[in-house]
Structure 1
Amino acid sequence: MRDPSVQLAAFARTLRRLRRERDLSQEALADRSGISAKHIGEIERANKEPGITTVMKLSDGLELPLSEFFAHVDERREAVTSLA
């Protein structure tokens, strides 16, 4: 079984990287996704595990298909687990 903390950390790092690549602040992504900037910050610090609706809104806010978003998460997770 996969360690959920590794998965959450991979998700958090991926979200932050994709947001920054698009030159978006947490506030700008909040406006685009309908998720509060505070909640985005908690997710990016891996303090909150987002539900599927939140993930879909974040993906829309990043203007990235959900499948592509998760492909980035998988790449990050694989990189982390290969180092262990």
Structure 2
Amino acid sequence: MQRVSAKMDDAGYLTAIGAVVRARRLKQGLSQEALADLSGIDRSHMGRIERGERNVTFLNIVRIANALDCRPSHLLRLAGA
């Protein structure tokens, strides 16, 4: 995965972290519903996170990273945060 530009506005960060989560999920062959179940997040909320429509909390970033078998810092770094 390629890193996103470091100079973004708030909406850009949300879109970037969502894109990183989605790409990692697809790479692992997980459905959105499966990732939501593994991370303990409602599926519709997960969809909004992936579309950059929700300001994802740190705890949810940790839950998502654990479900994707990576560190939260890895997701954030790829998103340019």
Match of residue 58 from structure 1 = 64
- 1:26 and 2:32 aligned: yes
State the SS of the aligned residue for 2:79: helix
Deviations 1:50-78 (A, max 9, x none): 1111111111111111121212112xx7x
Q: How many residues align?
A: 75
The 5 Å alignment of 1:1-84 reads 2-74=8-80
1:22-79, CA deviations, whole angstroms, 9 ceiling, x for partnerless residues?
Answer: 11001110121111111100111111111111111111111111121212112xx7xx
Q: TM-score if structure 1 supplies the norm length?
A: 0.80
Larger radius of gyration: 1
> CA RMSD of the aligned region, Å?
1.6
CA distance in 1, matches of 2:74, 2:19: 15
Query: Which consecutive residues of structure 2, in runs of 5 or more, have no partner in the other structure?
Result: 1-6
Q: What's the offset of the Cα at 1:3?
A: 1.0
TM normalised by structure 2 equals 0.83
2:10 is matched by which residue type in structure 1?
Answer: P
Query: What corresponds to 1:82 in structure 2?
Result: none
